[in-house]
Amino acid sequence: MRTRHLYFVLAAALATSFAGRVMADKEPALATEDAKFLDGLMTEFLFDPRGAERVNVPVVVRTAWGTAGEGTADGWLVPGKGGQPDRVHFTDGASVPAPAAGKMKKVDFVAACRTRYAPHAGPPEPKKGDPDDLNRDEVFSRMKRVAVGGLDGDDLAQAAWLHRHGHDGLAAPALAAARKAARDPRTGEGDARKQLRAELAWSAFAGLVHAYMVRADDEALAHGERLLKLYPEESKAEDFQQAGAVVAELKRRRQKGSFGKPPPEQRPDGFDKWDAGRKVAHLIDALDEVDARQWGQPGGVDLAADRRVRELIRLGDAAVPALIDAIEKDERLTRSVHFWWDFARSRTVLGVREAELVVVMSILRVRVFEPVATGDNFTARGEDTAKATAARLRAYWKEYGAWPFDERMMKVLTDPKTSFEAKREAADNLASLGDDRTFATTVFTDRAGRERTGVNPAVAKFKTPTAAEAILAAMDADLKAHDAKPVDGLHDYHRRHLEDAYLSPLVALGDKRVAAELARRSAAAAGRMRRKWAYAAHGLGDPQPFRRFAADFHRGLVRLPANDQPQTNADDQPGTVELRGIVGYFVGAATPEADAALTALAEAKHPLHRAVADRVLHERADGSDAGAWFAHPFCLRILRAALDDPTPTGATFAIEAGNLRRKVKDGWTGTSIPDFLTDPAVRRAEAAERACDAAAEKLAELVVGLPRCHPLYKDADTRLGALRTAFDRFAGNYRRATGREREILNLSSWAPAYLPDIPPLGRAANVADVRAGRAVFHLDGMGKLADLKLPAVAGLTRDGGRERSPRVLIVQAEVGPGDVTTYGVVTRDGVRAIAGQELISIKTFADLEREEKEAAQSDKQNKE
């Protein structure tokens, strides 16, 4: 017999694993009031095990991701009556048909409880390790149980069942354990009954949602009805507020005939010939089958990825009136579930309104709803928000619905009565005219797909004003209104964002006629606006203003605002923010003048060198706001200079309680011990950090092929010297890794990474090439070029072609005496020459591209 789908999940099995013990010198008696209390629990909501046998059975554990895994759970086997099959019942009476005898194991319930609770059992073996780590382990265990709806321990249920079986001597310590576990250590108060009911209610609710989302509707309805029957008060709590709605939705589906059934895969016959109204009605009706899944945590549900949603978006304006009506009135639910984290009591079955709103916002390119937190969504805002949103959309459609999209945006942009927020949105929409974009209702799920090719049609269509002139006029008015507001700590922050909200679409629009006006504004401006106007002019074909700005910066003539804001982080001080903006623009421009300006920053004589060096030395290379500081090789020159600085940083590294800790005056940070320091024989117990150590660690993160350094190494100074030598071998000759190179070397796709720049020489390398960092090796004048287009990629023979084994980047290949081929390769841990027999599966980049195209074509054919 197949494994039964069970969600309430490991209720009994988890109890055995996680409940604590209560020890006493003498077995306590069960008080009369306690016996009455336990009897009442079985009358109220706990399963009564009289006449049942304890067994362990296989179950399927469902998750918020729409997946399922197999586990086991202890339950009570009850023989069937009147020809009915045997069933296994769990903590609060939830049950499944009993599996085949071979898949069931008998459990000696009393013996197991005696081991847990009897006085003679002795105290549990003490756990070893740091108390923080042990607490963290228990926290993680609890998080996992909550994620699947498992119980956090059910000593109270064990006590009731022991009492029912006449073992009051064991029931008493089990009850004491339950009360102790429920007690708040801060207040000493707690209610074991209330806690167990809440956990069982969550188990039922999570089971309802997780089964519903995968169309296991019989199972879902059983969970939902049990929740509403046994836990009517708990089901009113915020955690379970959708319980009644999901149960009602299941009953609606049963009446409709779609209960537990997969949706049709194909469109109805003749769909392509239907008029737009009929198509819209059909697709709106089908939105209750949307089953897009959350992609990460915290994260969102990309409803626009569902084919039904996509088809409605493609119908465009014709679908808008019906969708607005549906947003107002449609109370159905989709099969999609959104949550904050799976280990939190956070589950929202997204309403069909959510999908309808995604369609409307994506058609209109107007955002009328935006989540304010990672667990937020439109459904959770309730009925009143839905009706208010529909009213707002209806008013917008009445005002602008008669106009084509581009004219609609121009009217919004030029109408003095529209809000500045709407003007910024319209500017962006005009600039992205023709792009494939969708607006979402959950975090991180807005989609930017295919971009328009060719000239933006808005450039030629609008004359007086042009689209670019309208964007500039709206920007001027918006900034004027902002500047008139009282100045607070966020005034400049908001202004910077307003500037970019217009300048970015202005450049993206691509109307080069406006470049002269931007150049004029740059010449008349100072500070940040000089830079921004110049960069916008550069993007629209006039490079002169930005060249002049870069030249002035190179010569040290550009001044920064003072870093003088009180109670403000160093990263957010005005001067630092502006310097980061300048560096980011120079990196983005990638012109000779910009490159020269950045290179000058690495020189100690530049007036802004100290400011930029401070950021390079103290920011994390993979930090979210650190991109500009590490996006150009100038940062490597700053770090190389710091390799010679032995000044103590004031921090100390130590291995303590199984962790690597970096201790400073005000505290410490810790991580697990990295692999390279796990061997006690190679490390010291403690070491002071120097500036050169910090620089070496950062260089090793940024530059591929440098040896590992750390102050805790016993030979730390020797390793530091080796890193200096390895870096200096290609000093001044590093570049950013390409996407393909990152993939080959298994580098992070978002953290900066640098490689030695070793392009093909077109000839055999010589001694001078190696000394200058233009080649990895030379063959004493006896080499000739190998027949291989570089760069290339290969695996290592020692790995035998194992999946996910490291690969190397080939940058040099020469054939020497005896027709032996030698390769110059870059790996994660070095740049070296390697014999041909040590490499396998040598492929050019063209080979990789061809294989990828063939694989994509094969996938497409399989899907079709």
For residue 532, tell me if it sits in a domain: no
Taking the CA of residue 474 as centre, how many other CA atoms within 13 Å lie in the half-sphere pointing to its CB?
Answer: 34
Q: Do 810 and 768 share a structural domain? A: yes
Q: What is the CA radius of gyration of the chain?
A: 34
Give the model confidence (pLDDT) of 124-162 as tens digits.
454 444 444 435 555 556 667 667 666 655 899 999 999
Give the model confidence (pLDDT) of 557-571 as tens digits.
999 999 999 888 888
- Residues of the chain above pLDDT 90, percent: 82
Q: Do 849 and 814 share a structural domain? A: yes
For residue 342, tell me if it sits in a domain: yes
Dist CA 327 CA 287 (whole Å): 12
The pLDDT score that the predictor gives to residue 860 is 74
| Type and span of the H or E element at 349 | strand 348-351
Q: Do 149 and 33 share a structural domain? A: yes
The pLDDT score that the predictor gives to residue 204 is 95
451: DSSP letter = P
How sure is the predictor about 28, in pLDDT bands with cuts at 50, 70 and 90?
low
Q: Do 800 and 659 share a structural domain? A: no
- Class of residue 186 by CB neighbours under 10 A (exposed 0-12, middle 13-18, buried 19+): exposed
The pLDDT score that the predictor gives to residue 751 is 85
**Range 783-805 average pLDDT:** 88
How sure is the predictor about 621, in pLDDT bands with cuts at 50, 70 and 90?
confident
Whether 27 has a pLDDT exceeding 60, the answer reads no
Q: Which domain holds residue 78?
A: 11-189
Q: How many structural domains comprise the chain?
A: 4
The pLDDT score that the predictor gives to residue 538 is 98
For residue 794, tell me if it sits in a domain: yes
**Range 772-786 average pLDDT:** 96
Q: Do 161 and 22 share a structural domain? A: yes
Whether 263 has a pLDDT exceeding 50, the answer reads yes
Q: Which of 351, 361, 149, 151 is nearest to 249 (CA)?
A: 351
Whether 16 has a pLDDT exceeding 50, the answer reads no
How sure is the predictor about 620, in pLDDT bands with cuts at 50, 70 and 90?
confident
Count of C-beta atoms within a 10 Å radius of residue 701: 16
**Range 646-664 average pLDDT:** 93
The pLDDT score that the predictor gives to residue 138 is 57
Give the least confident one: 474-478, 556-560, 623-627, 834-838: 623-627
DSSP secondary structure string, 575-616?
HHHHHHHHHHHHHHH--HHHHHHHHHHTSTTSTTHHHHHHHH
**Domain stop point among 732, 750, 771:** 732
Amino acid at 506: L
Whether 13 has a pLDDT exceeding 60, the answer reads no
Count of C-beta atoms within a 10 Å radius of residue 187: 7
**Domain stop point among 446, 461, 480:** 446
For residue 175, tell me if it sits in a domain: yes
Q: Do 288 and 390 share a structural domain? A: yes
For residue 716, tell me if it sits in a domain: yes
Three-state DSSP state, 672: strand
End-to-end CA distance of the chain: 35
**Range 320-348 average pLDDT:** 97
**Range 801-825 average pLDDT:** 90
**Domain stop point among 140, 155, 189:** 189
How sure is the predictor about 12, in pLDDT bands with cuts at 50, 70 and 90?
very low
The pLDDT score that the predictor gives to residue 864 is 60
Dist CA 92 CA 154 (whole Å): 11
For residue 123, tell me if it sits in a domain: yes
Give the model confidence (pLDDT) of 36-90 as tens digits.
999 999 999 999 999 999 999 999 899 999 999 998 999 999 999 988 999 999 9
Phi-psi category of 603—alpha, beta or left, where left has phi over 0 and alpha has psi -120 to 50? beta
The pLDDT score that the predictor gives to residue 67 is 94
Whether 285 has a pLDDT exceeding 60, the answer reads yes
Q: Do 723 and 812 share a structural domain? A: no
Dist CA 331 CA 185 (whole Å): 43
**Main-chain dihedrals φ then ψ at residue 59, nearest 5 degrees:** -140, 160
In 3-state terms the chain splits into helix, strand, coil percentages (rounded to 5) of 50, 15, 35
Q: Do 396 and 345 share a structural domain? A: yes
- Residues of the chain above pLDDT 70, percent: 92
For residue 523, tell me if it sits in a domain: no
**Range 637-651 average pLDDT:** 96
Three-state DSSP state, 255: helix
Q: Do 765 and 721 share a structural domain? A: no
Q: Do 817 and 668 share a structural domain? A: no
The pLDDT score that the predictor gives to residue 133 is 45
The pLDDT score that the predictor gives to residue 801 is 63
For residue 568, tell me if it sits in a domain: no
Whether 800 has a pLDDT exceeding 70, the answer reads yes
Q: Do 765 and 838 share a structural domain? A: yes
Joined together, the tokens standing for residue 108 give: 């000696």
Q: Do 789 and 724 share a structural domain? A: no
Give the model confidence (pLDDT) of 497-542 as tens digits.
999 999 999 999 999 999 999 999 999 999 999 999 999 999 999 9
Mean pLDDT for the chain overall: 91
